[in-house]
Amino acid sequence: MWNTVYEWLDERLGLNDMYTNLLDRPEPRGNWWNTLGSASLFLFIMQGLTGIFLTVYYTPSPDHAYDSVQYIMEGVAFGWLIRGIHHWGATLMVLVVFIHMLRVFFTASFKYPRELTWLIGIGLLLMTLGMGFTGYLLPWNQRAFWATTVGTQIAGSVPFVGEFILKALRGGPDLSALTLQRFFSAHIWMLPALLAGLIGIHLFLIIKHGESHFPSKED
Amino acid sequence: MSGSNEISRRDFIKVTTGIVGGLIGVAVGLPTISYLIDPALQEGGKDVWVTIGKFEDMQVGIPYPFSFTRVQVNGWERTSSSFGGFAVRKSDDPKDLLILNSRCTHLACTVNWNEQAQGYLCPCHDAKFSIDGEVLDGPPPRPLDVYDQFRLTEDGQIEIFSKAG
Ligand code: HEM
Ligand code: FES
């Protein structure tokens, strides 16, 4: 019965082909450093899921942001766990993505034909940092407020266009409800969407080129 | 390996992966579900006894107005709602009280006792209720609601039972 259903689907979707190409593709003899990209992907998905759950209670408004976070921590069953995972996962993701980049650099895997994979990787690193930056403001406590004040101030020190960048980031000259709202929007919609799209291309390229061999003594 | 009783390495891996995966699924799934449904499991506001006034201050035949507020905590927000009504004393017997809710049964405006009209008038759509809460005029579909649980305390106060919500 299940076999018939599976065969019917396989004939139309090519499930077996997908399986061989995605999960059963040949890999060079690697080592644990080669798992960091997958670890980054796992962390991205985990941050996505815990983030979605946080929005069940979190409210991005200066009146409610702080109280709603407090409520998640103390009022809701396992709120501390969901927020804790999201909080520490964020730091871990930056770290893992960064080490993944270092391994790609040290094994010289960015060379032809994988330059594009590398360039997209840089985009992924920047997006990941952007997620950290925008997420940091959301609890709307003193630390968040002043960190964002300083962070946007630094972005504002660019010559000529600095003031414009500062206003665009803050949604005005000062940190306000507009800043919180646009950081929230960037954090839950824009950056994750970009990140997901870029990860898709990144993975497509990896499957297309196969993984690079570990450089040998002669290389 | 086929033909032997020992399970193959491949099957062993499959079974352990399944078991460990299932355990992880439960360990992750249960907290997540309770996180999501937690507000539904919270008790709402409590049912409480509310003091509305001294029995001796209530005069026979003249509705005695009272009001009280109740605070409800929803997540990180407190909402207070006001309630009010009239105690209508019939005789010397403290059991012989009729305690009406002043919330109009039409669309929830607050009715007021009007001495001249000898009735409760609603300012919103001109409803009129008798002293006992019967609809005399206007759109309300039923008589005024009654607080039917009340008691006299030792120091002469009347208390009513206010349900949550
Ligand atoms: C959200 C962040 C990222 C995710 C989810 C991700 C995911 C992956 C995955 C699953 C692989 C497969 C091989 C492995 O795991 O080592 C990979 C390979 C690769 N990644 Fe990333 N990556 C991310 C960030 C980056 C960054 C920041 C760079 C560099 C700027 C980069 C450059 C590369 C390159 C060049 C490869 C090919 C390596 C090879 O073929 O040996 N990636 N990535
Ligand atoms: S609300 Fe009282 S008459 Fe309509």
CATH number at residue A41: 1.20.810.10
- Assess if residue A4 is contained within a domain: no
Q: What is the pLDDT of residues B96-116, one digit of tens each?
A: 999 999 999 999 999 999 999
- Assess if residue A164 is contained within a domain: no
Looking at the CA of A105, name the nearest ligand: 1
**Do B33 and B60 fall within a single domain?**
no
- Assess if residue A196 is contained within a domain: yes
Torsion angles phi and psi, residue B99, rounded to 5 = -110, 115
Say which of B35, B39, B75 has its CB closest to residue A78: B35
CA–CA dist B102, A30 (Å, integer): 78
**Do B55 and B123 fall within a single domain?**
yes
Nearest CA among A143, A147, A131 for reference residue A184: A131
Per-residue model confidence (pLDDT) at position B73: 82
Report the 10 Å Cβ neighbour count for A108.
Answer: 12
CA–CA dist A191, A133 (Å, integer): 11
**Do B65 and B102 fall within a single domain?**
yes
Which range marks the domain in which residue A95 is found?
A: 36-138+189-209
Residue B40 touches chain A, beta carbons under 8 Å: no
**Do B83 and B63 fall within a single domain?**
yes
Residue B79 touches chain A, beta carbons under 8 Å: no
Q: What is the pLDDT of residues A180-199, one digit of tens each?
A: 999 999 999 999 999 999 99
User: Is this structure's pTM higher than 0.80?
Assistant: no
- Assess if residue A16 is contained within a domain: no
Tell me the β-bridge partners of B120.
Answer: B113, B129
Domain count, chain A: 1
**Do B32 and B99 fall within a single domain?**
no
- pLDDT, mean of each 10-residue run, chain B (165 residues): 71 95 96 94 80 92 92 85 92 91 94 94 95 95 94 92 74
Does A56 sit within 8 Å of B36, measured CB to CB?
A: yes
**Do B133 and B71 fall within a single domain?**
yes
Q: Residues B128-138, buried b or exposed e (16+ Cβ, 10 A)?
A: bbebebebeee
**Do B86 and B113 fall within a single domain?**
yes
Domain count, chain B: 2
Q: A189: which DSSP letter? A: I
Per-residue model confidence (pLDDT) at position A26: 81
Average pLDDT, chain A: 94
CA–CA dist B136, B157 (Å, integer): 31
Residues B147/B99, Cβ–Cβ less than 8 Å: yes
Say which of A68, A77, A82 has its CB closest to residue B76: A68
- Assess if residue A125 is contained within a domain: yes
> By mean pLDDT, which of A45-49, A186-190, A210-214 is the weakest?
A210-214
**Do B32 and B60 fall within a single domain?**
no
Which range marks the domain in which residue B5 is found?
A: 1-42
Mapped onto helix, strand or coil, the DSSP state of residue A217 is coil
**Do B152 and B96 fall within a single domain?**
yes
One-letter amino acid at A10 equals D
Q: Where are the alpha helices (DSSP H) in A36-190?
A: 36-54, 65-74, 79-106, 115-137, 142-155, 162-170, 177-185
Residues A180/A140, Cβ–Cβ less than 8 Å: yes
Per-residue model confidence (pLDDT) at position B70: 87
Per-residue model confidence (pLDDT) at position B1: 45
CATH number at residue B158: 2.102.10.10
**Do B105 and B138 fall within a single domain?**
yes
Nearest ligand 2 atom to alpha carbon B111: 2
**Do B86 and B30 fall within a single domain?**
no
